[in-house]
A = this chain, B = another copy of it.
Amino acid sequence: MTLFDSLVRHGMPFVPRSIVGKVARRYVAGEEVSDAVRIIRELNSEGAMATVDVLGEEVRDPARAAAAVDQYLALLDTIDREGIDANVSVKPTMLGLKIDEAMCEQHIAAIVHRAAGLDNFVRIDMEDHTCTDATLRIYRALRADSSNVGVVLQSYLHRTVADVGALLPLTPNIRLCKGIYREPRSLAWTQYETVRANFVYLMEKLLEGGAYLAIATHDPYLVWAGMTAVDRLGLDPQDYEFQMLLGVDPELRRVILDRGHRLRVYVPFGRDWYPYSMRRLRENPTVAHHVTRAMLGLGPR
């Protein structure tokens, strides 16, 4: 555990918003939809696609969940009107998963329906392990009627190998990532090398099983593993895509695009940037180090 983790975990549970705001500037497009549109135009001109996330999670108020649906419907209209190459990613807990699962499913169904009418696509993000079962249930229910919906699986969870086996018969559309939430050892692999090896295993199982796969990683080893897996299987670039987060390693984005693969950048925007930025911070030891020094009142070094 890093000093940053320790500070956040013990004694300093909350990093000042002003400090996290500086981090957010790197990882978040901005607070308004117009900020997202501007960033996506830049990405599209580089040859990258986008998936847009309206920031927000852990909503407990039904009115806020309903408002989130409206934001997503407007966002889909904006994408269509602006003619940018982007789909959307939704977080179940922003759409009421922690209030009522059926309500959440209806909310996501409404977004998927609007997307279908605009020939667009909705990715259901995966949150922590308390959401996994419900999120997969919702995905299965929506997948029965719609082909323009996908979900996410995380290679750090022990359960994922079984989830892949259960989902493959649906010809699913899966984003595979390592996973970023803090999970207990009883549920998740904790060794770096095991999470990585599991990513490779699951990726190959999904690609060989006919899934459409979004290979979501910033780990150059896994980017290599993805490139060689699709080479070995003789896949067409339309059969898969790579995904990376906004603000992380633009040089690696360029590498992927230059080799002829499709790449989609996850573009979050909105006012609720704190929890997302905190997760990014934990992932970035260099930035976390500077934040730790700032929190301790030390100057930059």
Q: Contact residues of A with B, CB < 8 Å?
A: 158-159, 161-162, 165, 185-186, 189-191, 193-194, 197-198, 201, 205, 220-221, 224-225, 227-228, 231-232, 251, 254-255, 258-259
Contacts of A190 in B (CB 8 A): 220
For residue A161, give the distance in angstroms from its CB to the closest CB of chain B.
Answer: 5
List, in ascending order, chain B residues with CB within 8 A of A227's CB.
161
Q: How far is the CA of A65 from the CA of B124 in the complex (A)?
A: 62
In angstroms, how far is the closest chain B Cβ from the Cβ of A104?
27
Could you say which of B161, B191, B194, B221 contacts A197, with CB atoms under 8 Å apart?
A: B221
Q: Are A193 and B165 in contact (CB under 8 A)?
A: no
Given A186-B258, A231-B161, decide whether A220 and B191 contact each other with a Cβ distance below 8 A: yes
Give every chain B residue within 8 A of A197 (Cβ-Cβ).
Answer: 221, 224-225
In the complex, which residues of chain B have a beta carbon less than 8 angstroms from the beta carbon of A158? 255, 258-259
User: Which DSSP category, helix, strand, loop or mixed, fits chain A's interface?
Assistant: helix
**Are the CB atoms of A228 and B186 closer together than 8 Å?**
no
Copies of this chain, complex-wide, total 2
* Residue of chain B at shortest CB distance from A164: B231
Contact B259 A189 (CB under 8 A): no
Q: Which residues of B contact A259 (CB under 8 A)?
A: 158-159, 162
Residues from chain B with a CB closer than 8 A to the CB of A255 are 158, 185-186
Contact residues in B for A186 (Cβ distance below 8 Å): 251, 254-255, 258
Q: How far is the CA of A161 from the CA of B255 in the complex (A)?
A: 14
The reply to whether A161 and B228 contact each other, CB–CB distance below 8 Å, is yes
Once A158-B259, A162-B259, A259-B158 are accepted as A-B contacts, the answer to whether A189 and B228 lie under 8 Å apart by CB is no
Is A198 a contact partner of B254 (Cβ separation < 8 A)? no
A228:B191 contact, CB within 8 angstroms: no
Residues of B within 8 A of A254 (CB): 186
Nearest-CB distance from A59 to chain B (Å)?
A: 31
Asked if B165 and A194 sit within 8 Å, CB to CB, the answer is: no
* Complex contacts, A251 vs chain B, CB 8 Å: 185-186
Residue on B nearest A260 in the bound complex, by CB: B162
Distance from A151 Cβ to chain B, minimum over Cβ atoms (Å): 20
